[in-house]
Chain A
Amino acid sequence: MTSVAHAKPDAHGGGGHHAAMSFWQKYIFSTDHKIIGIQFLFVSLFFLLLGGLLAMQIRWQVGFPGKPMPGGGILPESMVSGGVILPEYYIQLVTMHGTFMVFFAIMPLLVGVYANFLIPLKLGAHDMAFPRINMWSFWLALLAGLIMLAGFFVPEGTSRAGWTMYAPLSARPDLSGATVGQMLWCVSIVVLGLSSVMGSVNYITTIINHRAPGMTWFRMPLSVWALFVTAILAVLALPVLQGAAIMLLFDQTIGTHFFDPVAGGQALLWQHLFWFFGHPEVYILILPAMGMVSDIISNGSRKPIFGYHSMVFAIVGIAFLGWIVWGHHMFMSGMNPTLGSTFMVSTLLIAVPSAIKVFNWMGTMWRGNLRLHVPMLNAIAFVSMFTIGGLSGIFMAATPVDIPIHDTYFIVAHLHYVLFGGSLFALFAAIPFWYPKMFGRMMDERLGKIHFWLTFVTYNLVFFPMHMIGMGGQMRRLYDPTIYDFLKPQQPLNEFITISAFALFAVQLIFAFNFLWSLKKGKVAPQNPWEDNGLEWSLPNPAPHGNWAPHTPNVYRGPYEFSAPESGDADFLPQTKKLPTDRDPVPAIPPAGH
Chain B
Amino acid sequence: MLKFENQPGLRFERGVIKSELIKSVGWSKGTDFCLLNISFSSNTFKYQSLTRKNPPQLIIEVREGKKPDESLKDDSRTSSFHRENESSELKDPREIRTVVIDPGHGGLEVGAKGKFGTLEKDITLQIALKLKAIIERNLSFRVILTREKDVDVSLENRAAVANNNRAHLFISIHTNSSYRKEASGSETYFLSLNATDEESRRLAYLENNSVEFEERISGGSEDELNMILWDMAQTAYIRQSSQMAESIQNELNFLLQTPNRGIKQAPFKVLTAVSCPAVLVEVAFISNPEEEKKLLTEEFQENIAQAIFRGVLNYLKSLT
Partners in one complex: no
Name A's B-contacting residues (CB within 8 A). Answer: none
Name B's A-contacting residues (CB within 8 A). Answer: none
